[in-house]
Structure 1
């Protein structure tokens, strides 16, 4: 009998013994593919193809010709079929993973039974032939079941009137890719069965191959993210991170999940990954074959088939779980003792569990004491190396002669940028997209003068290293100390008033100076092509002179603000906003061109002194043609009864407004010429009343909490006629309004200029303008005069200042 005939006979006999597996897999594919498609088609029709039509109902418009309607309907049905048939169906992925485990275990489960091993190895057939026949048999069971149900699925598609050539291609592509990654997982399960002598241990080993190494990468990413306090944004979770690479490619399961993001029409870009996966399948096949050749028959019934693999696997499992335990307890308490406790306890527990599994004996839980001691020492040292940054990550400063250029992203300058924009999707439809501001900043900003960059970086590094324990949560940050009163909020750039110090060139004079705290991220473009990023918290008051020169730099502003890259030909309209409304809208192309040029000139000339002294009087937006078309489409959809929400049709959600200062003479002149009247809408002459809620001022009084009542209320109202029993100050007299409005800025402009002090107790006020227009205002402490304090007479001002 030839080897080919013997191989075929062995494979047929194996498949006969596993008829149950074939039936199980076939039924699973049957309900997922043909039945799943039929259900999806019915559901799509019942919901008028809402999901597949850009989240809009598909109804036959009487004005739409029947042929056009039928063509569009076929297109939508095709999308339904493709969503079920092409690569990326989540149910198929789950089934492939389960099938890999079932087939891999059932193919070689006999290796864990001594009688069966003796029987199979006693027949006069080479081990290579037995291994290959059973290996291929498991693949054929899944492949044939998948293929038959794809044919049935195609028949279901035809019954719904969908039979385009693209569907067959998508099905074939999905079959090829799913089977490729099934082979990877299947091969890993087979190797797990070869390396173990017990079925339960083999299944656990398969789980280790699937999940352990990505989990270790996730733990190490967590250590870096927590203990390296100068980590910039998503440095450890971005595509360039070694940990992300490990999570994607160090297990067959994670490789499969990573591939789910691929598009079949862009599969050429992933040819290297496909080639690597193909070679991986072959390498794992031959590795399993070699393990089968050398696997001793007496390994059946033992936990591990090869004694040499026990120590390396034990050490990896123990260290990985120990580091995970240390990270878990650190996350709970942020204390060194708890982090070390978690590391030590998890190392001991994992070591004991692995020893019990290895020996099937609880008495052996503390075996291999030397390895346990080495793992404890290694785990503690690794934890300490991150805690105390023995790697020097947070103290890193590059050699300036190796830096080609750098970008600086200061929250106080960029934190208010709108990161939404309009683009077109694959179907040519306008969609609202999102892009982080720093992506454009790092691409567009090229600072080559390191004398403007390094002083800011060095100050940020000094401050970060000084306060590293606070950043790690070990020491609670001090929110108020002697002679220091925190005025700003905690969620963004803050202005802090430090009493008792003499002002400098960039701050107030004899009464004190302002320390503007903000986050800063620097990105170095190195001469070797690498991009290195670090993030710091910095007090700009310590480097205000350098920051002032930086803000005057054209390369800084052009890299920071997209308005400098706008061109008149791409714009559809300009909007000037003031007083809570659009005070002017212009669509004349010549006016847009003049206003854009004027604004770019004024904005480029803006310096830090002006930002400190002035507050924006209004804001201007240059609306692109794409944004206008997106708005028009949503308005049409809303009028026709579509499902689009109100946020879809609010242009304020996605267009970018830019601040207009009183010193922007060129911009203001053009706006005045167009009748916009800038500075007159949110002004004292146009204000009917200002209402300030002061209830929070009474919450921490020595006499108790709550609003004044009875005699106390009457006494307060005699002192302060603006006070009402509801806890508000209502200013309606022209003199009081004129005095107060000098220290009030529109709330929506406050984020554009955070160089002004705001009280944490009394910040917001309601400004009623002529025409019954209510605008939210914000009180600026640094613009309040002594005369304005009379408006707060009788109130506990210590809670304001």
Structure 2
């Protein structure tokens, strides 16, 4: 009982000494909650605003309905205002925690006050507990009072609606949990230091050193490891948010805030317990010194030297644009950080070079970590597991299949307050898809390892980090064409580990392996969602050609047959066919789940065209069975675009201009055999009206549509102007369509086109059309 009475007596005495802190807390809580809530609620429920809402609805809402909507909005604004992970409370709770933590133990920074406190006949544990609890109460009481006052004000304004008081009280508990974590961190900084300024710096270190070093590690991996994809293993689990009380609170919004708050409370109490231990061990004579414990000085110094040296090295690498600058930055970071830390430790510029042992240790540590990345001492870029160690593989290469994420999109429906609905699509992360892929066929895994070996060889031969190249790059004269692409390989090892590598490489060197992978049934089943569909999961099918999306009119049995023959023929598709042939169109198989969402969106007059953005797969001329079923269903494909449906075709030389062809662009310099050459300045266009010539153009060109895998020739742009009678044919062309934009298939430019443009380039004044027989 005596101990309890003593505790409350000391608590009252502490409050008398901290009136300024209590007043500051009350004032902050007053403006942050009652005043802010009154302002926001008054604006939201303003009569003029409510009337304007009713008028803007054009009769859809009455004034009373608008008032109810405004009241619901006021409640939501209040909930957002008191959210512990919201910007207001993040700022106030963190700042309050630091101020209360350092102010509550500020007596430790004065030798006289420290001697006084430690001379009274009270155990150190009691003195610490009183100061620690006081700092929590100074924030908790005004916080709770201000919160409840604001809630009552809002409740009165939104009657007859009722606020969720359980949610309000829960937000208070969660806010205090985050407060205790930040508060205990500041107290720990005070326990390790003997000066107010140094304790502030120590608090900043505790708040930001952890995230900084983790971000530096990620940055170094990305800069020096050319095959780096993302952190895995232990480093993946240690996110920057877990290394800082502030970031932990910021990242705790949403459904997980309850669990995060409990973790914050537990962590805060543990740090508080450590602070109590340090307080008991703290010598009284250390008041006024920078650091209290000699043993902590070299540890903190080495940690700060490491982050400073690595940060300075990376900074100079980026600014200087060369790795050599990294060494300069590393040396500067080591020397400057060592001097600054020693000056702070001793409060004396003359001691800048003191602590030579700790300086040497910090320098060695910094150089070692730098070399670990700079020279890849751990062999990160050369890692290649043995086939016997692999359980399965996840594989992604845009050149083989560009829709790995997109074709796994999900469409979400949200309903607004006015009853309207909005839809949006979201895509899984690439690494999530790779983690789900289980390519295990031995021959396919061997081919993937061959590609990985090619990527490693390319890294070894490179002298600087590879930048993201274009998909296709022409080689120098006399050299084979390079096909540059990005490959991501995720190894699922038998020991339970996962290793992922990312390569930018010349795929032409491993094209045989790429062909083997694409021909693999295992690869297609794991990559293409359509290959995993079952007939009983399908509700229907859609078809796209020239930007027109239409429903395949057929019975479910016929759709099931269509799926079966498409999967069968797609299994036989080769990589050469994929890259060289132009699709006749693109097919989408709608699942029952998709159809259910579409029906719901259609019923509520929403936008269901999001479903046109994904899960369309190419139909090639070689897919004879698929084409036959589609034609039986009355589907028109790209091969129905014949010269009879075209008025004229314009071939534009992109080497001279990117402007669209205009009939009045310039003088017609030559006219012969249904062709005319237009030239104005450096702009050159070939206009073709000959049915025979237009037929050659159509056979050698196509539209990308939903596919970007077949290779096109980028020199020429093709504009196909439809005959007037086809411009209103909405079944095959979009209604009102006048022109379609095509590209030549790579290597299939008609001879007469190539010769005309080559000759006019060499001798612009003499072009003999009759000499071109195709």
> Which interval holds the TM-score relative to the shorter structure?
0.7 to 0.9
Using a 3 Å threshold, how does the CA distance of structure 1 residues 797 and 683 change in structure 2: closer, same or farther? farther
Instruction: Summarize deviations over 1:2-23 as a string: whole Å, max 9, x none.
Output: 2322221221121122222222
Contact kept in structure 1, 2:703 and 2:743, CA below 8 Å:
yes
Instruction: Summarize deviations over 1:690-729 as a string: whole Å, max 9, x none.
Output: 2233253489xxxxxxx9xxxx988788998323325333
- Could you tell me how far apart the structure 2 residues matched to 1:687 and 1:471 are? 53
Match of 1:200 in 2: 197
Instruction: Summarize deviations over 1:231-270 as a string: whole Å, max 9, x none.
Output: 23xx22x8x6616615232333333233334446xx4xx3
Q: CA deviation at 1:211?
A: 0.8
Q: CA deviation at 1:392?
A: 0.8
- Could you tell me how far apart the structure 2 residues matched to 1:185 and 1:340 are? 37
Q: CA deviation at 1:308?
A: 2.4
Show the 5 A alignment for 1:708-747. Answer: 721-725=676-680, 726-747=683-704
| Pick aligned residue for 1:598 from 539, 554, 565 | 565
- Could you tell me how far apart the structure 2 residues matched to 1:364 and 1:163 are? 70
- Could you tell me how far apart the structure 1 residues matched to 2:115 and 2:657 are? 87
Q: CA deviation at 1:125?
A: 2.8
Q: CA deviation at 1:374?
A: 3.5
Match of 2:717 in 1: 764
Q: CA deviation at 1:785?
A: 4.0
1:90 aligns with 2:87: yes
Q: CA deviation at 1:448?
A: 1.6
Match of 1:481 in 2: none
- Could you tell me how far apart the structure 1 residues matched to 2:26 and 2:652 are? 69
1:433 aligns with 2:430: no
Contact kept in structure 2, 1:408 and 1:523, CA below 8 Å:
yes
SS of equivalent to 1:615:
coil
Show the 5 A alignment for 1:144-293. Answer: 144-161=141-158, 167-232=164-229, 235-236=230-231, 242=235, 245-263=238-256, 267=258, 270=259, 277-293=264-280
Q: CA deviation at 1:327?
A: 1.4
Show the 5 A alignment for 1:389-400. Answer: 389-400=376-387
| Pick aligned residue for 2:443 from 423, 428, 451 | 451
Show the 5 A alignment for 1:445-484. Answer: 445-467=437-459, 470=462, 472-473=464-465
Using a 3 Å threshold, how does the CA distance of structure 1 residues 567 and 65 change in structure 2: closer, same or farther? farther
| Pick aligned residue for 1:611 from 569, 578, 583 | 578
1:693 aligns with 2:643: no
| Pick aligned residue for 1:104 from 101, 104, 108 | 101
Query: What is the aligned length?
Result: 733
SS of equivalent to 1:169:
helix
1:654 aligns with 2:609: no
Match of 2:734 in 1: none
SS of equivalent to 2:440:
coil
SS of equivalent to 1:783:
coil
Show the 5 A alignment for 1:535-614. Answer: 535-567=502-534, 571=538, 573-582=540-549, 585-586=552-553, 589-614=556-581
> Which of 390-399 and 720-729 deviates more?
720-729
Instruction: Summarize deviations over 1:358-395 as a string: whole Å, max 9, x none.
Output: 11111221222343333333322321221111111111
- Could you tell me how far apart the structure 2 residues matched to 1:38 and 1:568 are? 59
Using a 3 Å threshold, how does the CA distance of structure 1 residues 230 and 308 change in structure 2: closer, same or farther? same
SS of equivalent to 1:414:
coil
- Could you tell me how far apart the structure 1 residues matched to 2:234 and 2:368 are? 23
- Could you tell me how far apart the structure 2 residues matched to 1:110 and 1:284 are? 20
- Could you tell me how far apart the structure 1 residues matched to 2:165 and 2:762 are? 76
- Could you tell me how far apart the structure 2 residues matched to 1:722 and 1:524 are? 56
- Could you tell me how far apart the structure 2 residues matched to 1:158 and 1:714 are? 78
Using a 3 Å threshold, how does the CA distance of structure 1 residues 158 and 165 change in structure 2: closer, same or farther? closer
- Could you tell me how far apart the structure 1 residues matched to 2:239 and 2:477 are? 52
| Pick aligned residue for 1:527 from 494, 516, 521 | 494
Contact kept in structure 2, 1:464 and 1:537, CA below 8 Å:
no
| Pick aligned residue for 2:472 from 494, 502, 516 | 494
Using a 3 Å threshold, how does the CA distance of structure 1 residues 424 and 568 change in structure 2: closer, same or farther? farther
Instruction: Summarize deviations over 1:465-489 as a string: whole Å, max 9, x none.
Output: 433574844xx88xxxxxxxxxxxx
| Pick aligned residue for 1:341 from 328, 331, 338 | 328
> Which of 199-208 and 74-83 deviates more?
74-83
Q: CA deviation at 1:330?
A: 1.8
| Pick aligned residue for 1:114 from 111, 115, 118 | 111
Q: CA deviation at 1:356?
A: 1.2
1:305 aligns with 2:283: no
SS of equivalent to 2:380:
coil
Instruction: Summarize deviations over 1:139-161 as a string: whole Å, max 9, x none.
Output: 10101011111211220232133
> Which of 781-790 and 187-196 deviates more?
781-790
- Could you tell me how far apart the structure 2 residues matched to 1:88 and 1:698 are? 53
SS of equivalent to 1:397:
coil
Contact kept in structure 1, 2:584 and 2:639, CA below 8 Å:
no
| Pick aligned residue for 1:671 from 598, 606, 630 | 630
- Could you tell me how far apart the structure 2 residues matched to 1:718 and 1:613 are? 32
- Could you tell me how far apart the structure 1 residues matched to 2:90 and 2:275 are? 24
Contact kept in structure 1, 2:303 and 2:362, CA below 8 Å:
no
| TM-score, normalised by the number of residues in structure 2 | 0.85
SS of equivalent to 2:739:
strand
Instruction: Summarize deviations over 1:106-140 as a string: whole Å, max 9, x none.
Output: 11112212232233333333332222212111110
Q: CA deviation at 1:449?
A: 2.3
- Could you tell me how far apart the structure 2 residues matched to 1:453 and 1:685 are? 50
Contact kept in structure 1, 2:484 and 2:505, CA below 8 Å:
yes
Using a 3 Å threshold, how does the CA distance of structure 1 residues 79 and 623 change in structure 2: closer, same or farther? farther
Match of 1:28 in 2: 28
Q: CA deviation at 1:637?
A: 7.6
Q: CA deviation at 1:539?
A: 3.9
Match of 2:768 in 1: none
Match of 1:8 in 2: 8
Q: CA deviation at 1:567?
A: 4.7
Contact kept in structure 1, 2:668 and 2:676, CA below 8 Å:
no
Q: CA deviation at 1:623?
A: 3.9
- Structure 2: runs of 5 or more not aligned: 728-736, 764-774
- Could you tell me how far apart the structure 1 residues matched to 2:49 and 2:531 are? 42
Using a 3 Å threshold, how does the CA distance of structure 1 residues 544 and 305 change in structure 2: closer, same or farther? closer
Q: CA deviation at 1:402?
A: 2.3
- Could you tell me how far apart the structure 2 residues matched to 1:78 and 1:59 are? 25
SS of equivalent to 2:383:
coil
- Could you tell me how far apart the structure 1 residues matched to 2:21 and 2:656 are? 73
